[in-house]
Chain A
């Protein structure tokens, strides 16, 4: 059984993520669809990067690659000093759980579970003990301002609150990067601003953030914007 993952102590200018000539194509019948056509991308520890681009540009696919949900057709993906482009499904699952914190547009909380239990999920798969994970989940829930909502079900929470649960869940295993996919996409502007400020706080604490977004507010907040069009990064 593997031990709970500890974030390696990277110096601030070390690349935490290095992608070289990443290609991804899908076979649709007899047609080969090129989605990513040679992406080169380096992100340093503590950076706040926004990936922007029109729909169909390949940014979701890139996000899936970065999040280890999918494997590239060719190219190298180095995450935290480890080449993950050749790992098998089980290893990728463990990497996802240990090194990546997902924040989704539609929150993706499990409806049957309450706030605490949702935050505990990633720790469960990393083999935390029940007591340890409960303690950490509670701390995280309090941190995102849900200390009085611990046993509520997602359906009893507002959109902004649900996204805060998702952020707490993303932090559960102390990941290398937090990957946010349109984190404010489903929220009104007020809740959206709240979520953005939480993400900003995380950035200030030194966490590495990658946000895929249409929202210019998110882009403006980021240190660097990477624009994607037709599967390539625009310089």
Chain B
């Protein structure tokens, strides 16, 4: 019985809103933009945070990454052109990490070199990654063809390499890379396997732009060639000569660019980080390393996301509030315009609550329509942001429900007072109203 009456009330509401199409549309716009901004802002916030979290997660939440950093004092001293600068992580660091810290599962030392690789008459800029056979455990690469480096390769300092798909594409074109030899510097290396390419910009770079990271990883988009660490040490040595723009040549001796430590369990990550830092402090006089804990970054990202959401949410809430006030304003005008109608209805048997339901249902219709249109518009904006702004966005179901719930709440909050005013008008006065 009640639902049938409600249906008729809403029918009546639609009818009287339809009578004033322009007014209804303009009134609804406030809610449309309010809801749309809630959804768009949450989508952008969520997208940004998921993007950051993905990047961090790719580093591994149980990993600790230690990078070689060009020490700041040395940068001032680089005017002494020909002196050799020795800094950075060493093989003994890696050894110490493996031997003296409990709950360390794997230690992966990495040496990076910017080089050029040749195959027949083709040449391509690549990055040589000198590492160990268990490197794939720590890095987001998958084996596509052949095999990865083995401990035998390591032991015998074999001239073996594993290339990624980018290198295959640029260097081998139609040839099968497996079993072919490519040339780096003056030596030949036989391709033993192909792995998937790592993503363009490693997360550590985007997250710590202010910290210069030493190594040959110049261009972000170049392919990688993996060579056993022992082979790299043997063929390339530790000394690199770099040509820097202003100060001419600089000679550097760096053993390792990076050491990745994988901890047995998540709880021990932070404790292990502390031990690592103590060890490093003891053996490094210069501040030539940087410790990155993805887990910590993840927690930071979560905090940032929370603040981000609160700020964006508040802005959106304010725009919804403004929309709500607009609705209330129009409904009050509608009520006074329809005083006579209210008087007639009261005389013909409408109770106060019937009048309240009538006007409240009109407000709710407006806000629900606004909510739905706002959701449509709000889902479209993130799409545009992603397309033109190249920013990741994620529309979550929660944000849709939230936006719709808020629009309903706005309807009730701002519709109640006008409806209450309408219901409490004196029927006799209202009937005389012109």
Give me the interface of A with B, judged by CB distance under 8 Å: 1, 64, 67, 69-70, 89-90, 93-94, 96-98, 102, 104, 108-110, 112, 121-122, 124-127, 129-130, 169, 173
Given the known inter-chain contacts A1-B2, A108-B431, please indicate yes or no for A125 contacting B348, CB distance below 8 A: yes
Which residue on chain A has the smallest CB distance to residue B431?
A108
Main DSSP-derived SS at the B contact region: helix
Q: Are B348 and A121 in contact (CB under 8 A)?
A: yes
Complex alpha-carbon distance, A224 and B353, angstroms: 39
**Is B345 interfacial (CB 8 A cutoff)?**
yes
**Is B151 interfacial (CB 8 A cutoff)?**
no
Given the known inter-chain contacts A1-B2, A125-B354, please indicate yes or no for A104 contacting B431, CB distance below 8 A: yes
Q: Are A125 and B349 in contact (CB under 8 A)?
A: yes
**Is B350 interfacial (CB 8 A cutoff)?**
yes
Q: Are B344 and A69 in contact (CB under 8 A)?
A: no
**Cβ distance B260 to chain A, nearest Cβ, rounded Å:** 73
Within the complex, which residue of B4, B5, B8, B349 is in contact with A96, where a contact is CB–CB below 8 Å?
Answer: B349
Q: Are B349 and A98 in contact (CB under 8 A)?
A: yes
Complex alpha-carbon distance, A129 and B8, angstroms: 10
**Is B347 interfacial (CB 8 A cutoff)?**
yes
Which residue on chain B has the smallest CB distance to residue A113?
B15
Complex alpha-carbon distance, A217 and B2, angstroms: 46
29 A–B contacts from the bound complex (CB under 8 Å): A1-B2, A69-B347, A69-B427, A69-B428, A69-B431, A89-B351, A89-B352, A90-B351, A90-B353, A93-B346, A93-B351, A93-B352, A93-B354, A96-B346, A97-B349, A97-B350, A98-B349, A104-B431, A108-B340, A108-B344, A110-B344, A110-B345, A112-B19, A122-B349, A124-B5, A125-B349, A125-B354, A130-B8, A169-B348
Complex alpha-carbon distance, A176 and B8, angstroms: 27
Which residue on chain A has the smallest CB distance to residue B11?
A130
Q: Are B19 and A96 in contact (CB under 8 A)?
A: no
**Is B241 interfacial (CB 8 A cutoff)?**
no
Q: Are A127 and B1 in contact (CB under 8 A)?
A: yes
**Cβ distance A101 to chain B, nearest Cβ, rounded Å:** 9
Q: Which residues of B contact A130 (CB under 8 A)?
A: 4, 8
Which residue on chain A has the smallest CB distance to residue B1?
A1
Complex alpha-carbon distance, A98 and B347, angstroms: 11
Given contacts A90-B352, A97-B349, 16 further A-B pairs with CB under 8 A are A1-B2, A67-B347, A94-B351, A96-B349, A97-B348, A108-B347, A108-B431, A109-B344, A112-B19, A121-B344, A121-B345, A124-B8, A125-B354, A127-B1, A129-B4, A169-B348
**Is B16 interfacial (CB 8 A cutoff)?**
yes
Complex alpha-carbon distance, A1 and B354, angstroms: 13
Q: Which residues of A contact B346 (CB under 8 A)?
A: 69, 93, 96
Complex alpha-carbon distance, A110 and B8, angstroms: 16
Within the complex, which residue of A64, A70, A94, A108 is in contact with B349, where a contact is CB–CB below 8 Å?
Answer: A94
Q: Are A64 and B1 in contact (CB under 8 A)?
A: no
**Is B341 interfacial (CB 8 A cutoff)?**
yes
**Cβ distance A113 to chain B, nearest Cβ, rounded Å:** 8
Q: Which 9 A-B pairs have the closest CB atoms?
A: A97-B349, A125-B349, A93-B351, A122-B348, A1-B1, A90-B351, A108-B344, A121-B348, A125-B350
Q: Which residues of A contact B344 (CB under 8 A)?
A: 108-110, 121
Complex alpha-carbon distance, A125 and B353, angstroms: 11
Q: Are B428 and A96 in contact (CB under 8 A)?
A: no
Given the known inter-chain contacts A64-B428, A69-B428, A70-B428, please indicate yes or no for A102 contacting B4, CB distance below 8 A: no
Q: Are B1 and A96 in contact (CB under 8 A)?
A: no
**Cβ distance B340 to chain A, nearest Cβ, rounded Å:** 7
Complex alpha-carbon distance, A67 and B431, angstroms: 13
Complex alpha-carbon distance, A52 and B15, angstroms: 41
Q: Which residues of A contact B2 (CB under 8 A)?
A: 1
Binary interface profile of B, 289-321, with partner A (CB < 8 Å = 1, else 0)? 000000000000000000000000000000000
Complex alpha-carbon distance, A182 and B15, angstroms: 32
Given the known inter-chain contacts A108-B431, A112-B15, A129-B4, please indicate yes or no for A102 contacting B352, CB distance below 8 A: no
Q: Which residues of B contact A1 (CB under 8 A)?
A: 1-2
**Cβ distance B403 to chain A, nearest Cβ, rounded Å:** 32
Within the complex, which residue of A89, A96, A127 is in contact with B348, where a contact is CB–CB below 8 Å?
Answer: A96
Q: Which residues of A contact B350 (CB under 8 A)?
A: 93, 97, 125
Complex alpha-carbon distance, A110 and B341, angstroms: 6
Q: Which residues of A contact B353 (CB under 8 A)?
A: 90
**Cβ distance B24 to chain A, nearest Cβ, rounded Å:** 14
**Cβ distance A179 to chain B, nearest Cβ, rounded Å:** 10
Complex alpha-carbon distance, A124 and B358, angstroms: 12
Q: Which residues of B contact A169 (CB under 8 A)?
A: 348
Complex alpha-carbon distance, A96 and B345, angstroms: 10
Q: Which residues of B contact A67 (CB under 8 A)?
A: 347
Binary interface profile of B, 1-20, with partner A (CB < 8 Å = 1, else 0)? 11011001000000110010
Q: Which residues of B contact A70 (CB under 8 A)?
A: 428
Complex alpha-carbon distance, A1 and B348, angstroms: 17
Q: Which residues of A contact B19 (CB under 8 A)?
A: 112
Complex alpha-carbon distance, A121 and B4, angstroms: 15
Q: Which residues of B contact A124 (CB under 8 A)?
A: 5, 8
Complex alpha-carbon distance, A37 and B344, angstroms: 28
